[in-house]
Amino acid sequence: QKEVEQNSGPLSVPEGAIASLNCTYSDRGSQSFFWYRQYSGKSPELIMSIYSNGDKEDGRFTAQLNKASQYVSLLIRDSQPSDSATYLCAVNDQAGTALIFGKGTTLSVSS
Amino acid sequence: EPEVTQTPSHQVTQMGQEVILRCVPISNHLYFYWYRQILGQKVEFLVSFYNNEISEKSEIFDDQFSVERPDGSNFTLKIRSTKLEDSAMYFCASSELGPGNEQFFGPGTRLTVL
């Protein structure tokens, strides 16, 4: 059974701080990793994808991947109240088409 | 910016009835997916579809469910003989490239089974 684990939170940070979100996955064959943002009652919105070990930056977001440790993280710099949402880690292996989601980490950014 | 659309946004049905949820994937995308999310739970994969056939399905996707691409733009999920536990948000997603590539989600259909 392929599993994706996330700390459910809530993670509370003040406006302007760095938010750090973590995810571990069980399937060592996993090849593709994604972070989605989901506002309450809305659908998942893709914010980052990462396929290789190391860091990938896009604006205020940085995704980090360590396949040896089976660990993916998302850093949000200069956090804004509008970043308050649930962040979903999703993993896909090369053999399958399915995305396996974690339960998500709820982030709360206070102004 | 192109986006996945879904109709209806909310569907209420009686237990035992059949429902059809509709999706229009992004126009140049070739891979289509259905996921569901029961309130308070994680997003769960149901089925993927490519070249007019199912590529992969989960244990959830049993004989009660079927998918179809009836024309060049629509992608549908049919749920026969609905049960109370089918109440959930159903998300359609599409991707331009195949396994392992980015999937873009529609706004979802909230299905309520009474």
- Reported as a single tens digit per residue, the pLDDT across B20-60 is 999 999 999 999 999 999 999 999 999 999 999 999 999 99
For residue B54, the chain A residue with the least C-alpha distance is A97
In percent, how much of chain A has pLDDT > 70?
98
Among candidates B45, B91, B101 on the partner chain, residue whose Cβ is nearest the Cβ of A98? B45
State the pLDDT at residue A90.
98
Among candidates A42, A88, A98 on the partner chain, residue whose Cβ is nearest the Cβ of B48? A98
DSSP 3-state of B84 = helix
In percent, how much of chain A has pLDDT > 90?
90
Amino acid at A77: R
Interface test with B, best of A47, A99, A103 (most B CBs within 10 A): A99
Contact between B12 and B114 under an 8 Å Cβ cutoff? The reply is yes
pLDDT tops 90 at residue A24: yes
Interface test with A, best of B103, B104, B109, B110 (most A CBs within 10 A): B103
Looking at per-residue confidence, does A95 or A17 come out higher?
A: A17
B92-107 tens-digit pLDDT: 999 999 888 999 999 9
Task: Pick the closest to residue B21 from B114, B98, B88 (CA basis).
Answer: B88
E strand or H helix that includes residue A73: strand A71-76
Peptide bond into B2 cis (omega under 30): no
pLDDT tops 90 at residue B5: yes
Contact between B8 and B24 under an 8 Å Cβ cutoff? The reply is no
State the pLDDT at residue A96.
79
